[in-house]
Structure 1
Amino acid sequence: MTSTLARPVPEASRPAETERPRGRPRLRALDGLRLVAALMVAAYHYGGRGGDVTTAWGSSPKEQFPTLHGYFAYGCLGVQVFFVISGFVICMSGWGRPLRSFFASRASRLLPAYWAAVLLVTAVFALPVVVHEAVSPSDALVNLTMLQQPLGADRVLGVCWTLWAEIRFYALFALCVVMPGATRRRVILFCAAWTMAAAIADAADEPLLDLVLMPEYAPFFIGGIGLYLLHRDREDAYAWGIVAVSWLTGQHHAVRDLWHAPGPDAFSHRSSFGIVLVVTLGFAAVAAVALGRLDRANWRWLTVAGALTYPFYLVHEHLGWVVIHGLHRGLGVGSAATFALTVAAMLLLAWLLNRCVEETLTPRIRAALSRVR
C-alpha cells in the first residue's frame, strides 16, 4: 500500500484503492489511515534508520533526533499497516467484479504515478549535484515493469519492494477469488488455505514457496480481508477467527523480522512489546473503520489525503533525502524544520503527481483496459 493543498479528485478518476461497492458509503477514515501509515514510513526513512540517510543529514539521525530516532525506528511497521489496509480494499474492490475490471482497476491505480516516480527519481539522481548513486539505464528501464526484483535489477525506488509483495497478493486474490467469482465461502476458504500454506512454506524454507506465498506478509493481507468480511457482517464468527489468527501470526513474523538486541552498535532498539503494540494498533485502527466506529470521520479532506498517499509513498524516500541534504547541509536549516519541510515538500510533489499524472492517465488506462472486445 491521502489537506487543503488539493481539490477533491473527480469521482471517475479517484484511485481504485478507495473504491467501494455500490450503495456503501465512502470510508474516508481509511483514506486518512493510509496517509498515517505513509507518514510512519517517512519518519522511518528520514530519522529511524542509518545508511544513505546519514549522508543526507551529514551525520547519523541518532544525532539529529536523540530522543525521537528510537520512536521513528518503529515507522517501518507502517508497511504492515499498509498490507492490512490493502487486504481490506482489494477484497472490497474485487467483490462482484469481473477479472478484466479488477485488472484494469489495479493497473490504472498503480502504474501512472509509479512510472512518473521512476522517471523523476532516475532523472534527479543523474544530476551531477545529487549525492546519491543512480542505477544503470538498463535497470531503470526494467524498473518500469515493476519486475525489477525477480529479474535481479537495481531498484530505482527503495519502497518498490512492497509493490512486488502487493502484486503477488493481487495475483493470488485474482486467481482464487475474483476469477471464479467472490463469495463469502470462497473468500473464507482462500484465507484459510493461504494461512495454512504460508505456515507450511515458512516451515519448509523453500525459496519458491516463500516467493509465492509470502509467509512473512500473508497474515497482514489475510487480516485485512477478514476485516472486510466483518465490515459486511460484524457477527461473522469465521471472519473474527480469520482476523484473530492473522493478528497472532502477523505479530510473530513482525517481531521475528524486526526485533534486534540492544547494543552500542545498534541504531536503535525495537522491543518486542513495541512491535506487537504497533501491529495491534494497526489492526485495531482498520477494525475501527470496518466496524463503523470511525464513520463520523467523514471529512472531505480525508479523500484528498487518500489520493496523495500513493504518490507520496513512491517519491518520499530518495527525493526526500535530496531535499534533506539541500536544506540541512546546504542551507543550514535545523533538523526539526528540515524534517517538517521535507515532508511538506513531498506532499506537495505528491499533489502535483496526483493532479498532473494520475487524474489524467488513471481514467484513460482504466477505460482502455476495461473495454470489452
Structure 2
Amino acid sequence: MPSRVGEGKHAAASGGRRSRGGRLYVIDGIRLVAALMVAVHHYAGTWRVDQPGNAIWDRPVSEIMPTVFRLASYGWIGVEIFFVISGFVICMSCWGRTPRQFFVSRVIRLYPAYWFAVAFTTAVLIAVPGVWERLRLREVLLNLTMLQSGSAVPNVDGVYWTLWSELRFYLLFLVVVAMGLTYRRVVVFCCVWGAAAMLAPVSDLHLLELVANPDGAWYFIAGLALYLMHRFGQDLLLWGILAMAWLMGQLELGNRIEEVERVSGWRGSVVIFTAFLLFMVAVALGYTDRIRWKWLVTAGALTYPLYLIHYVAGTTLINRLRDTMDARLLVAVIIAGFLVLSWLVHRCVERPVSRLLKGGLDTSFARLRNAGNG
C-alpha cells in the first residue's frame, strides 16, 4: 500500500522501511486459529460446561475429556488475539481513506453476516428450546442494530459482547481517520487512549469508562503499534507502546480469569499471549511475508461467520447429540459443520448483501454531498 510523500519522508528519517503492500496472508490464518480456539473453549473449556448437571454436557466436561478441557480452558485468549489483530487490520485498511470510506467498509464488513447470525441463532432457540433462554421479539429486533449493549438489552448470543468493544474502537479511531492518518497522529491516539483507559476505572465516571473501554483498549493499541512497525519500521517509541500494552494486557488477563473464566491459570495465559505478540512482531517486521498460501484467504473469510454462529447453536447441538458419539468426535464434527456453514454464509450472504449495501450507501452519501452543494 503506497504511502504519502510526508509519511515516506518520516519513514526514511526514522530509519524504518515502508510497507511492501499487498495482503498479509498469515493474519488470515491467525484469525481462523483464534476463532477455533474460542469455539473449542466454549464447547469444552468453560467454567459453565465443567459444572455438575450443566445444560450442555450434563456433567463436568473435565470428567468426560480431561486433556481437551485442560487445553480448551485457555481458548478464551482468542478474543484478545482478535482485538490485537483488529487494531492492526483497521489501521492498515483505513490508511489513505476518507471517513465515508471507513464507515462504509465497516458496515458492509460487519452487518451482513451478523444479521444472518441473529436470525439463525434465534431460529435455533425456537426450534430447540431448553438450553438457552430466548429473548423477547423486541429485544431480538434491537439486536439487529448491533447497539443493544448501549441500551442495556441482552445479546441474542453471548459472543456479541466483543462487537460492542469493536464498535467503540471504530468510533474513536474514526476521529483520527477524519484528521488523516499519519505516524504521529496514530501514536498520539495510542497514548491518549491508553491514558484514558488507565484512568477510567478509578475516575468513577461511567461515560469515560464507556468510551475508554479499559477492558479492551490496550489490545487494540498493541495492534496499532504493530501496524506502525510494519509500515514505518521499528523504533523505541513503538516498542515502548507495545511493552505497555503487554503490561496492561497481562493484568487484564488475570482480572478476566478471576472474574469470568475461572478455569485457567495466569501464567499459562500470559505465555500464550506473549507468544502471540512476538509472532505478530515477526509479521510486522516482514519475516512472514513469504507465506502466500491462497487458502489462507478462505480461512480468513470463515472467521467472522464462525465466531458469530458457533456458540449458542453449537452448545444446543451438543445438548441433543452428546449421547450419540464420543465427546471429542462430537466437538470436531460440530466445528467442521459450522466451518461449512460459515463458508456458505460468506458466499451466499456476505458477498451479495455487501455489494447491495455498498451500492446503496455510496448512492446515499453522493446525495448528501450534492445536497450540501445545492
TM range (shorter): 0.7 to 0.9
Decide whether the 8 Å contact of 2:19 with 2:230 is kept in 1.
no
Please list the CA deviations of residues 16-48 of structure 1 after superposition, one character each: whole Å capped at 9, or x if unmatched: xxxxx9971210100000001101111110011
List runs of 5+ in structure 1 lacking aligned partners. Answer: 1-20, 261-265
State whether structure 2 residue 348 is matched by structure 1 residue 348: no
Please list the CA deviations of residues 43-64 of structure 1 after superposition, one character each: whole Å capped at 9, or x if unmatched: 1100111436831222222222
Match of 1:27 in 2: 24
Match of 2:243 in 1: 244
How do residues 1-373 of structure 1 correspond to structure 2 at under 5 angstroms?
Answer: 24-51=21-48, 54-127=54-127, 131-175=131-175, 177-259=176-258, 269-329=263-323, 332-371=324-363, 372-373=366-367
Secondary structure of 1:248 counterpart: helix
- The structure carrying a bigger helix percent of its residues is 2
Paired amino acid for 1:357: V
Match of 2:4 in 1: none
Identity %: 44
Secondary structure of 2:179 counterpart: coil
- Aligned equivalents of 1:92 and 1:363: distance in 2? 22
Q: 1:270 to 1:152 in 2, by over 3 A?
A: same
Decide whether the 8 Å contact of 2:222 with 2:245 is kept in 1.
yes
List runs of 5+ in structure 2 lacking aligned partners. Answer: 1-17, 368-374
TM-score normalised over the length of structure 2: 0.88
Larger Rg: 2
Q: 1:129 to 1:242 in 2, by over 3 A?
A: closer
Shifted more, 92-101 versus 243-252: the winner is: 243-252
TM-score normalised over the length of structure 1: 0.88
Shifted more, 215-224 versus 51-60: the winner is: 51-60
Q: 1:341 to 1:237 in 2, by over 3 A?
A: same
- Aligned equivalents of 1:103 and 1:133: distance in 2? 34
Match of 2:10 in 1: none
RMSD over aligned CA atoms reads 2.0
Please list the CA deviations of residues 249-290 of structure 1 after superposition, one character each: whole Å capped at 9, or x if unmatched: 111111122247xxxxx9964222112112212212222221
Decide whether the 8 Å contact of 1:46 with 1:339 is kept in 2.
yes
- Aligned equivalents of 1:315 and 1:207: distance in 2? 31
- Aligned equivalents of 2:22 and 2:327: distance in 1? 41
Q: 1:289 to 1:335 in 2, by over 3 A?
A: same
- Aligned equivalents of 1:77 and 1:215: distance in 2? 17
Secondary structure of 2:309 counterpart: helix
How many residue pairs get matched? Answer: 345
